[in-house]
Amino acid sequence: MGDCIVIKIGSSSLTSEETGGLHRERIDYFADELAALHQQGYQVLLVTSGAVAAGFRRIGYTARPRLVHEKQAAAAVGQALLMQAYQEAFGRSGVAVAQVLLTRSDFSNRRRIQNAQRTIDELLKQRVIPIINENDTVATAELKFGDNDTLSALVANLVKAGQLLMLTDTDGLYTEDPRKNPLAKKLERVEQISAEIEQIAGGSGSNVGTGGMRSKIEAARIAMRGGIPAFIGRIVEQGDLSEAVAGNGKGTYFDTKLHTLPMKKQWVSFHSQPQGSITVDEGAETALLTGGKSLLPAGIRGSTGDYHSGDVVEVRNIRQETIGRGVVNYEAWQVQAAAGLSSDEVRQRLDVVRIEVIHRDEWVPM
Protein backbone atom coordinates (compact mmCIF):
# COMPACT_ATOMS: atom_id res chain seq x y z
CA MET A 1 0.00 0.00 0.00
CA GLY A 2 2.35 2.69 -1.13
CA ASP A 3 -0.55 5.16 -1.24
CA CYS A 4 -1.52 4.43 2.36
CA ILE A 5 -0.79 7.20 4.86
CA VAL A 6 -0.97 7.05 8.65
CA ILE A 7 -1.53 10.38 10.42
CA LYS A 8 -1.19 10.76 14.18
CA ILE A 9 -2.72 13.70 16.03
CA GLY A 10 -1.96 14.28 19.71
CA SER A 11 -4.10 15.55 22.57
CA SER A 12 -2.53 19.02 22.59
CA SER A 13 -3.63 19.55 18.98
CA LEU A 14 -7.23 18.46 19.61
CA THR A 15 -8.15 19.91 22.98
CA SER A 16 -8.45 23.29 24.62
CA GLU A 17 -5.91 23.90 27.38
CA GLU A 18 -8.31 26.44 28.95
CA THR A 19 -11.36 24.17 29.26
CA GLY A 20 -9.79 20.72 28.86
CA GLY A 21 -12.48 19.67 26.39
CA LEU A 22 -12.38 19.12 22.64
CA HIS A 23 -11.49 22.05 20.41
CA ARG A 24 -14.16 21.58 17.74
CA GLU A 25 -12.69 24.09 15.29
CA ARG A 26 -9.35 22.24 15.27
CA ILE A 27 -11.08 18.89 14.84
CA ASP A 28 -13.03 20.32 11.90
CA TYR A 29 -9.77 21.63 10.41
CA PHE A 30 -7.95 18.31 10.75
CA ALA A 31 -10.94 16.42 9.35
CA ASP A 32 -11.01 18.72 6.30
CA GLU A 33 -7.27 18.17 5.73
CA LEU A 34 -7.58 14.37 5.99
CA ALA A 35 -10.71 14.36 3.84
CA ALA A 36 -8.80 16.26 1.15
CA LEU A 37 -6.12 13.55 1.10
CA HIS A 38 -8.84 10.90 1.03
CA GLN A 39 -10.44 12.59 -1.96
CA GLN A 40 -7.06 12.67 -3.74
CA GLY A 41 -7.17 8.86 -3.67
CA TYR A 42 -4.95 8.13 -0.68
CA GLN A 43 -5.86 5.45 1.83
CA VAL A 44 -5.91 7.44 5.07
CA LEU A 45 -5.66 6.13 8.64
CA LEU A 46 -5.95 8.44 11.63
CA VAL A 47 -4.32 7.56 14.96
CA THR A 48 -5.79 9.90 17.52
CA SER A 49 -5.27 10.78 21.14
CA GLY A 50 -7.64 12.91 23.17
CA ALA A 51 -10.15 10.58 24.85
CA VAL A 52 -9.04 11.31 28.42
CA ALA A 53 -8.70 15.03 27.71
CA ALA A 54 -12.15 15.06 26.10
CA GLY A 55 -13.87 13.27 28.95
CA PHE A 56 -12.42 14.38 32.27
CA ARG A 57 -14.40 17.62 32.52
CA ARG A 58 -17.63 15.91 31.43
CA ILE A 59 -17.21 13.22 34.10
CA GLY A 60 -16.78 15.89 36.78
CA TYR A 61 -13.00 16.07 37.37
CA THR A 62 -11.62 19.59 37.74
CA ALA A 63 -8.19 18.62 36.38
CA ARG A 64 -6.77 15.85 34.21
CA PRO A 65 -6.83 12.71 36.40
CA ARG A 66 -3.63 10.93 37.43
CA LEU A 67 -4.88 7.61 38.83
CA VAL A 68 -5.30 4.79 36.31
CA HIS A 69 -8.95 4.03 37.10
CA GLU A 70 -9.83 7.73 36.88
CA LYS A 71 -8.12 8.02 33.48
CA GLN A 72 -9.96 4.92 32.30
CA ALA A 73 -13.29 6.34 33.40
CA ALA A 74 -12.53 9.66 31.71
CA ALA A 75 -11.51 7.82 28.53
CA ALA A 76 -14.74 5.80 28.55
CA VAL A 77 -16.72 9.04 28.45
CA GLY A 78 -14.28 10.92 26.25
CA GLN A 79 -13.90 8.26 23.53
CA ALA A 80 -17.60 8.55 22.69
CA LEU A 81 -17.35 12.34 22.58
CA LEU A 82 -14.21 12.14 20.42
CA MET A 83 -15.81 9.80 17.88
CA GLN A 84 -18.98 11.87 17.78
CA ALA A 85 -16.89 14.95 16.98
CA TYR A 86 -15.00 13.09 14.23
CA GLN A 87 -18.21 11.62 12.77
CA GLU A 88 -19.71 15.10 12.49
CA ALA A 89 -16.50 16.71 11.20
CA PHE A 90 -15.84 14.12 8.47
CA GLY A 91 -19.55 13.95 7.67
CA ARG A 92 -19.37 17.50 6.31
CA SER A 93 -17.16 16.12 3.51
CA GLY A 94 -19.22 12.97 3.07
CA VAL A 95 -16.40 10.74 4.36
CA ALA A 96 -17.28 7.69 6.48
CA VAL A 97 -15.12 6.89 9.52
CA ALA A 98 -14.79 3.86 11.80
CA GLN A 99 -13.53 3.37 15.35
CA VAL A 100 -10.73 0.87 15.99
CA LEU A 101 -9.48 0.46 19.59
CA LEU A 102 -6.24 -1.45 20.15
CA THR A 103 -4.00 -2.39 23.07
CA ARG A 104 -0.38 -3.50 23.31
CA SER A 105 -1.53 -7.09 23.98
CA ASP A 106 -3.43 -7.06 20.66
CA PHE A 107 -0.11 -6.53 18.88
CA SER A 108 1.59 -9.23 20.96
CA ASN A 109 -0.97 -11.83 19.85
CA ARG A 110 -0.38 -12.73 16.18
CA ARG A 111 -3.94 -13.95 15.57
CA ARG A 112 -5.56 -10.87 17.08
CA ILE A 113 -3.36 -8.40 15.24
CA GLN A 114 -3.90 -10.26 11.97
CA ASN A 115 -7.65 -9.96 12.56
CA ALA A 116 -7.22 -6.23 13.21
CA GLN A 117 -5.18 -5.93 10.01
CA ARG A 118 -7.90 -7.64 7.97
CA THR A 119 -10.54 -5.33 9.45
CA ILE A 120 -8.47 -2.23 8.68
CA ASP A 121 -7.76 -3.48 5.14
CA GLU A 122 -11.48 -3.98 4.52
CA LEU A 123 -12.33 -0.50 5.85
CA LEU A 124 -9.72 1.03 3.53
CA LYS A 125 -11.03 -1.04 0.61
CA GLN A 126 -14.51 0.38 1.29
CA ARG A 127 -13.06 3.92 1.38
CA VAL A 128 -13.69 4.34 5.12
CA ILE A 129 -11.12 6.16 7.29
CA PRO A 130 -10.19 4.03 10.34
CA ILE A 131 -9.80 6.18 13.46
CA ILE A 132 -7.47 4.29 15.79
CA ASN A 133 -6.90 4.89 19.48
CA GLU A 134 -5.58 2.93 22.42
CA ASN A 135 -8.31 1.11 24.34
CA ASP A 136 -7.62 3.03 27.54
CA THR A 137 -10.47 1.47 29.49
CA VAL A 138 -8.90 -2.02 29.45
CA ALA A 139 -5.16 -1.36 28.93
CA THR A 140 -3.09 -2.16 32.01
CA ALA A 141 -0.43 0.28 33.14
CA GLU A 142 2.50 -2.02 32.38
CA LEU A 143 1.24 -2.76 28.85
CA LYS A 144 0.10 0.72 27.82
CA PHE A 145 1.75 2.40 24.86
CA GLY A 146 2.15 5.45 27.10
CA ASP A 147 1.38 7.66 24.13
CA ASN A 148 -0.01 7.11 20.68
CA ASP A 149 3.24 7.92 18.87
CA THR A 150 4.37 4.31 19.30
CA LEU A 151 0.89 3.08 18.37
CA SER A 152 0.98 5.11 15.15
CA ALA A 153 4.35 3.62 14.14
CA LEU A 154 3.13 0.07 14.82
CA VAL A 155 -0.02 0.73 12.80
CA ALA A 156 2.07 2.16 9.95
CA ASN A 157 4.12 -1.03 9.90
CA LEU A 158 1.00 -3.17 10.15
CA VAL A 159 -0.55 -1.69 7.00
CA LYS A 160 2.82 -1.22 5.23
CA ALA A 161 2.12 2.49 4.89
CA GLY A 162 3.92 4.72 2.46
CA GLN A 163 4.31 7.43 5.10
CA LEU A 164 3.78 8.17 8.78
CA LEU A 165 3.01 11.77 9.73
CA MET A 166 3.04 12.69 13.43
CA LEU A 167 1.37 16.06 13.82
CA THR A 168 2.26 18.15 16.84
CA ASP A 169 2.38 21.76 17.98
CA THR A 170 6.02 22.30 16.98
CA ASP A 171 7.35 22.51 13.44
CA GLY A 172 9.90 19.72 13.71
CA LEU A 173 13.01 18.70 15.59
CA TYR A 174 15.46 21.40 16.67
CA THR A 175 19.03 21.24 17.95
CA GLU A 176 17.71 22.82 21.16
CA ASP A 177 14.34 23.88 22.54
CA PRO A 178 13.40 26.84 20.28
CA ARG A 179 11.20 28.25 23.05
CA LYS A 180 14.28 28.68 25.23
CA ASN A 181 16.95 29.37 22.61
CA PRO A 182 15.93 31.43 19.55
CA LEU A 183 19.21 30.41 17.85
CA ALA A 184 18.21 26.74 17.82
CA LYS A 185 18.34 25.24 14.31
CA LYS A 186 15.68 23.02 12.82
CA LEU A 187 16.74 19.67 11.38
CA GLU A 188 15.06 19.43 7.98
CA ARG A 189 15.99 15.79 7.28
CA VAL A 190 17.28 12.91 9.38
CA GLU A 191 18.63 9.74 7.77
CA GLN A 192 19.73 7.98 10.95
CA ILE A 193 18.61 8.38 14.55
CA SER A 194 21.98 8.77 16.24
CA ALA A 195 22.80 9.19 19.94
CA GLU A 196 23.02 12.92 19.26
CA ILE A 197 19.48 12.97 17.85
CA GLU A 198 18.24 11.10 20.92
CA GLN A 199 20.00 13.55 23.19
CA ILE A 200 18.42 16.64 21.68
CA ALA A 201 14.91 15.14 21.80
CA GLY A 202 13.49 16.68 24.96
CA GLY A 203 10.64 15.68 27.25
CA SER A 204 6.95 16.40 27.03
CA GLY A 205 6.05 19.92 25.91
CA SER A 206 2.43 19.88 27.05
CA ASN A 207 0.50 18.96 30.19
CA VAL A 208 -2.47 17.82 28.12
CA GLY A 209 -0.89 14.82 26.41
CA THR A 210 1.63 12.18 27.47
CA GLY A 211 3.92 12.34 24.46
CA GLY A 212 6.95 14.50 23.78
CA MET A 213 9.63 14.76 21.12
CA ARG A 214 11.46 11.79 22.62
CA SER A 215 8.51 9.46 22.09
CA LYS A 216 8.09 10.76 18.54
CA ILE A 217 11.76 10.04 17.79
CA GLU A 218 11.30 6.49 19.08
CA ALA A 219 8.20 6.12 16.91
CA ALA A 220 10.14 7.41 13.90
CA ARG A 221 12.80 4.78 14.63
CA ILE A 222 10.17 2.00 14.61
CA ALA A 223 8.74 3.28 11.34
CA MET A 224 12.16 3.58 9.72
CA ARG A 225 13.11 0.05 10.77
CA GLY A 226 10.00 -1.11 8.93
CA GLY A 227 11.01 0.83 5.83
CA ILE A 228 8.50 3.65 6.35
CA PRO A 229 9.57 7.31 6.11
CA ALA A 230 8.22 9.55 8.86
CA PHE A 231 7.44 13.22 9.39
CA ILE A 232 7.20 15.19 12.64
CA GLY A 233 5.72 18.66 12.31
CA ARG A 234 2.63 20.80 12.39
CA ILE A 235 -0.13 21.82 10.05
CA VAL A 236 -2.00 25.07 10.61
CA GLU A 237 -3.33 26.29 7.26
CA GLN A 238 -5.50 24.80 4.55
CA GLY A 239 -3.44 22.49 2.33
CA ASP A 240 -0.61 22.04 4.86
CA LEU A 241 -1.23 18.30 5.19
CA SER A 242 -1.03 17.74 1.43
CA GLU A 243 2.19 19.76 1.40
CA ALA A 244 3.60 17.58 4.20
CA VAL A 245 2.72 14.42 2.26
CA ALA A 246 4.40 15.90 -0.83
CA GLY A 247 7.64 16.53 1.10
CA ASN A 248 7.22 20.26 1.64
CA GLY A 249 5.85 20.23 5.17
CA LYS A 250 6.55 22.38 8.20
CA GLY A 251 8.62 19.88 10.10
CA THR A 252 11.38 17.27 10.04
CA TYR A 253 11.49 14.32 7.64
CA PHE A 254 12.98 10.98 8.65
CA ASP A 255 14.15 9.12 5.57
CA THR A 256 14.85 5.41 5.33
CA LYS A 257 16.63 3.19 2.85
CA LEU A 258 15.23 0.04 4.46
CA HIS A 259 12.55 -2.15 2.94
CA THR A 260 9.24 -2.94 4.61
CA LEU A 261 9.51 -6.01 6.81
CA PRO A 262 7.39 -9.10 6.05
CA MET A 263 4.50 -9.59 8.48
CA LYS A 264 6.24 -12.40 10.39
CA LYS A 265 9.46 -10.42 10.95
CA GLN A 266 7.43 -7.33 11.79
CA TRP A 267 5.66 -9.23 14.55
CA VAL A 268 8.98 -10.60 15.88
CA SER A 269 10.58 -7.16 15.84
CA PHE A 270 7.86 -4.85 17.12
CA HIS A 271 5.03 -6.74 18.77
CA SER A 272 6.24 -9.96 20.36
CA GLN A 273 7.10 -10.38 24.04
CA PRO A 274 10.49 -12.18 24.32
CA GLN A 275 10.32 -15.19 26.63
CA GLY A 276 14.05 -15.46 27.27
CA SER A 277 17.50 -14.66 25.92
CA ILE A 278 20.40 -16.42 24.22
CA THR A 279 24.00 -15.19 24.48
CA VAL A 280 26.24 -15.78 21.45
CA ASP A 281 29.96 -15.50 20.77
CA GLU A 282 31.59 -12.99 18.41
CA GLY A 283 31.59 -15.39 15.47
CA ALA A 284 27.86 -16.01 15.74
CA GLU A 285 27.24 -12.28 16.22
CA THR A 286 29.04 -11.51 12.97
CA ALA A 287 27.28 -14.33 11.13
CA LEU A 288 23.86 -13.06 12.26
CA LEU A 289 24.44 -9.35 11.70
CA THR A 290 26.50 -9.28 8.50
CA GLY A 291 26.66 -12.81 7.11
CA GLY A 292 22.95 -13.46 6.61
CA LYS A 293 23.35 -16.75 8.51
CA SER A 294 21.15 -18.70 10.92
CA LEU A 295 22.09 -19.19 14.57
CA LEU A 296 23.67 -22.61 15.11
CA PRO A 297 24.34 -24.27 18.49
CA ALA A 298 28.14 -23.91 18.16
CA GLY A 299 27.94 -20.12 18.57
CA ILE A 300 25.83 -20.15 21.75
CA ARG A 301 27.45 -19.32 25.08
CA GLY A 302 24.46 -19.11 27.42
CA SER A 303 20.68 -18.97 27.83
CA THR A 304 18.14 -17.51 30.27
CA GLY A 305 14.38 -17.96 30.59
CA ASP A 306 11.95 -20.88 30.35
CA TYR A 307 10.98 -20.60 26.69
CA HIS A 308 9.63 -23.16 24.25
CA SER A 309 9.97 -23.91 20.55
CA GLY A 310 8.09 -21.22 18.63
CA ASP A 311 8.64 -18.51 21.25
CA VAL A 312 10.50 -15.27 20.56
CA VAL A 313 13.80 -14.73 22.36
CA GLU A 314 16.31 -11.91 22.48
CA VAL A 315 19.83 -12.59 21.25
CA ARG A 316 22.69 -10.90 23.11
CA ASN A 317 26.40 -10.66 22.41
CA ILE A 318 29.09 -11.50 24.97
CA ARG A 319 28.86 -7.91 26.30
CA GLN A 320 25.15 -8.58 27.00
CA GLU A 321 24.03 -6.06 24.38
CA THR A 322 20.83 -7.04 22.60
CA ILE A 323 21.59 -7.54 18.89
CA GLY A 324 18.25 -8.90 17.72
CA ARG A 325 15.26 -11.15 18.20
CA GLY A 326 14.17 -14.40 16.66
CA VAL A 327 11.79 -17.35 16.83
CA VAL A 328 13.59 -20.20 18.57
CA ASN A 329 13.28 -23.79 17.34
CA TYR A 330 14.51 -25.39 20.58
CA GLU A 331 13.20 -25.74 24.11
CA ALA A 332 15.22 -23.78 26.68
CA TRP A 333 16.78 -26.93 28.13
CA GLN A 334 17.80 -28.06 24.63
CA VAL A 335 19.60 -24.76 23.98
CA GLN A 336 21.49 -25.15 27.26
CA ALA A 337 22.40 -28.74 26.38
CA ALA A 338 23.46 -27.87 22.81
CA ALA A 339 25.42 -24.68 23.58
CA GLY A 340 28.88 -24.80 22.03
CA LEU A 341 28.38 -28.16 20.32
CA SER A 342 28.90 -28.85 16.62
CA SER A 343 25.87 -29.60 14.47
CA ASP A 344 26.87 -33.27 14.22
CA GLU A 345 27.15 -33.56 18.02
CA VAL A 346 23.71 -32.00 18.46
CA ARG A 347 22.16 -34.46 15.99
CA GLN A 348 23.67 -37.36 17.93
CA ARG A 349 22.70 -36.16 21.42
CA LEU A 350 19.39 -34.33 21.00
CA ASP A 351 16.12 -35.01 19.21
CA VAL A 352 15.63 -31.67 17.44
CA VAL A 353 13.54 -31.07 14.33
CA ARG A 354 15.85 -28.37 12.89
CA ILE A 355 19.52 -27.87 13.56
CA GLU A 356 19.19 -24.07 13.42
CA VAL A 357 18.39 -22.66 16.83
CA ILE A 358 17.04 -19.55 15.07
CA HIS A 359 16.60 -19.66 11.29
CA ARG A 360 17.67 -16.54 9.39
CA ASP A 361 14.11 -16.18 7.99
CA GLU A 362 12.82 -15.75 11.55
CA TRP A 363 15.60 -13.45 12.76
CA VAL A 364 15.42 -9.65 13.01
CA PRO A 365 18.48 -7.56 13.98
CA MET A 366 17.88 -4.67 16.37
pLDDT in tens, 121-165: 999 999 999 999 988 777 655 446 657 898 999 999 889 999 999
Regarding whether 79 and 209 lie in a shared domain, the answer is yes
From 264, 293, 325, give the residue that closes a domain.
264
pLDDT at 287 over 80: yes
Same domain, 202 and 282: no
Instruction: Examine residue 269 and state whether it is found in any structural domain, yes or no.
Output: no
Domain with residue 136: its CATH number is 3.40.1160.10
Q: Which domain holds residue 197?
A: 4-264
Looking at the fold, whether 259 and 292 belong to one and the same domain comes out as no
CB within 8 Å of 153: residues ≥ 6 apart: 164, 219, 220, 222, 223, 226, 228, 230
Domain co-membership, 225 together with 246: yes
Beta strands in the chain (DSSP E): 4-9, 43-48, 97-102, 129-134, 163-167, 173-174, 186-187, 189-190, 230-234, 250-254, 277-280, 300-304, 312-316, 322-327, 363-365
Query: Could you read off the pLDDT of 298-308 as tens digits, one per residue?
Result: 999 999 999 99
Q: How many domains does the chain have?
A: 2
In the predicted structure, residue 211 carries a pLDDT above the cut 90:
no
Judgement on whether residues 169 and 281 belong to the same structural domain of the protein: no
CA angle 230, 233, 237 (to 5 degrees): 125
Residues 218 and 282 in one domain: no
Q: Is the pLDDT of residue 193 over 60?
A: yes
Q: Same domain, yes or no, for 243 and 286? A: no
Q: What is the CATH number of the domain that holds 329?
A: 2.30.130.10
User: Pick the residue with more confidence: 99 or 203?
Assistant: 99
Q: Are residues 285 and 151 in the same domain?
A: no
Q: Are residues 153 and 253 in the same domain?
A: yes
Between residues 271 and 72, the one the model is more confident about: 72
Note the pLDDT tens digit of each residue in 212-271: 788 899 899 889 988 899 999 999 999 999 999 999 999 999 998 766 677 677 777 776
- Measured at the CA of 244, the angle between CA 243 and CA 248, to 5 degrees, comes to 65
pLDDT band per the 50, 70, 90 thresholds, residue 181: confident
